[in-house]
Amino acid sequence: MQRISLSKVFLYSITFLFTGVVFAQEDEEGDIDTERLIIVKPYSPTVSDAFKVKQTPVINDSTENKKKQVSYDIFSFPVASTFTPAKGTAAGVTRKSMPRLYDNYASLGFGNYSNIAAEFYSTINLDRGKEVSIGLVHNSSQGGIDEARLDDKFYDTGLEIGYKAQQRNFTWGVDAGFQHQVYNWYGIPDYFQPTEIELAGIDPQHSYYAATFGANIDMEQGIFDEAKFKYRRFGDNFGSGENHVKWTPKLEFPVVEQLIGTELSFDFVNGNFDESYENLPVSNQYGFFNLGVAPSIQIQNEDLSVNLGAQLVYSMDIENEDNNLYLYPKVTGSYRVAGDYFIAYAGAEGELKQNTYYEFVQENPFVSPTLLVAPTDKQYDIYLGGKGKFTDQISYNIRGSYKSEVNKPMFIHNPYVATGNTPKEGYENFNSFGVVYDDVTTVSFFGELQFALSDDFNVRLNGTYNNYSADTQDEVWNLPEFEGSLALDYQITEKWFAGASMFAVGERNVYLDFQGLQSTYQTKGTMDAYLDANLRVGYKLNDRLSLFARGNNLLTENYRPWLGYPTQGLQVMAGASYQFDW
């Protein structure tokens, strides 16, 4: 691979010339000839030379008019008045005190289902412009879902440490993190009724780990703008492993009073799965290296803003020795039709999205360690919309789009695999998911309203409708046609605060493969839509300590985000948060 080295050359040259001329001539002995020495002294005015203007000038003009003598008398008499002026008082402006900001935050909460939620964030200032940050997030549950026939506990902990330094002309930082997750394939659908002996022989636990290292730099001068680097090692307890490296430097070149921005991208991923799902042709190893360059230019005036660009990507499939070249549009623009009340915007964008095992797990932790990992060619996403505000308190955003994706991944339910009386692995009991790819076009409509009724009360409501069309699959699997959310935040008093959220997901198509069961057939089904409502309330004992209570899934519905996986019912949690400085 050819390596590209970038260098920066800064050349600043300022020359100041101060000249004076003195003409003199020396004789042979080095003495100055006084007869030919000419000294020119500039005029230096003094105060005495200035003409002093008299305050009362004397006018010597024959046309001057003589003032006429005017005589008048004042006749005054008293007027009765009942007005008594009140004593004035100064009007005061009520100022809302700003809350004190602390560098450190800790929170801990306990709830039913043995749920535990903990957070910790800290910033330590080492020196001027230098700091260390620490973040810890933990969520866990011991399970207890009534409809679950296998262990349904989960565990998710993430730790991240970062260092940031600000120099005279640039800012740089590094960070490192570790994440540990434990889940269980507890979701056996109602279609499958194993015996107690079969259930006892299933080990559903699946654990993941991820270690990351990153670095970034942001320059204030020169053609080099910024760069970000990220490396992640991801694996599980079934011998799966994945390396993902991404480096994205950005450059800026001034050309004819315009700034040309160029983003380079180096995206490399490789991994392997030690396991393979029976009867499914899955490659155990994968590797891709994508090189991209995306130049762009921005044109902007008072009301119009246009960004013209494109991206060229060269993708190398290392395992299959297959290389491809892709060209994507990167064009966006907006125009203020009626100031802040209506802004029209449009765009056409595309990208080569590198899918990873890590991202699949974060979206669906119940996948099997036997996936097919490949990039998605997002050919274009053309959209047109408008945003603005009806009043100073109410804003809106509407958008329609048409998108074309080649090799779009979709989660599909894995079939049941039987070897004698007991399946081989914990994920082969009709309780895990795989990934299938297809070419998909999507027509979507999005709308959002935000209400800032006051500084203490805010509401946001949005919804998205999607119409999918697949090329070879009968349906698009596990993709809802409708998604919506509602978020509310209310500062009731200086001490009390509350918030609420609600999200809705429409029906989804699912693929059912009963291979290995008493009835062997394949069909498709539909997952029901669901609605999840949540509420939180808190009380500030002082600037540092606050108490909170949360209620999740208030509709007490054990809905299923994935086939066979019921969620916890009504969840209640209480805890405290504390802010402090070291």
Three-state secondary structure string covering 511-546:
EEECCCCCCCCEEEEEECCEEEEEEEEEEECCCCEE
Burial environment of residue 565 by CB neighbours within 10 A (0 to 12, 13 to 18, 19 or more)? buried
Report residue 1's pLDDT band, with 50, 70 and 90 as the boundaries: very low
Nearest to 566 by CA among 195, 113, 189: 189
How does pLDDT run across 306-332, given as a tens digit for each residue?
999 999 999 999 998 899 999 999 999
First to last CA, the chain: 49
| pLDDT for 123 beyond 50 | yes
| pLDDT for 288 beyond 80 | yes
How does pLDDT run across 380-405, given as a tens digit for each residue?
999 999 999 999 999 999 999 999 99
Write out the E strands in 273-423. 285-300, 304-317, 322-336, 343-353, 376-389, 394-413
How does pLDDT run across 479-502, given as a tens digit for each residue?
999 999 999 999 999 999 999 999
- C-alpha span between 453 and 456 (Å, rounded): 8
Domain 104-580 CATH superfamily:
TonB-dependent receptor, beta-barrel domain (2.40.170.20)
How does pLDDT run across 59-97, given as a tens digit for each residue?
444 444 444 454 444 444 444 444 445 555 545 555 556
Q: How many CB atoms lie within 10 A of CB 239?
A: 11
pLDDT given at position 457 = 94
Mean pLDDT score of the chain, rounded to an integer? 83
How does pLDDT run across 504-550, given as a tens digit for each residue?
999 999 987 665 554 555 677 899 999 999 999 999 999 999 999 99
How does pLDDT run across 8-62, given as a tens digit for each residue?
333 333 333 333 333 334 444 444 444 444 444 444 454 444 444 444 444 444 4
pLDDT given at position 428 = 87
Nearest to 329 by CA among 312, 306, 346, 310: 310
Each domain of the chain, given as residue ranges in start order, spans 104-580
Nearest to 243 by CA among 288, 176, 198, 192: 288
Q: How many CB atoms lie within 10 A of CB 167?
A: 12
Is 17 or 125 the better-scoring residue by pLDDT? 125
How do the residues of the chain divide into helix, strand and coil, expressed in percent and rounded to 5? 5, 55, 45
pLDDT given at position 52 = 41
pLDDT given at position 374 = 95
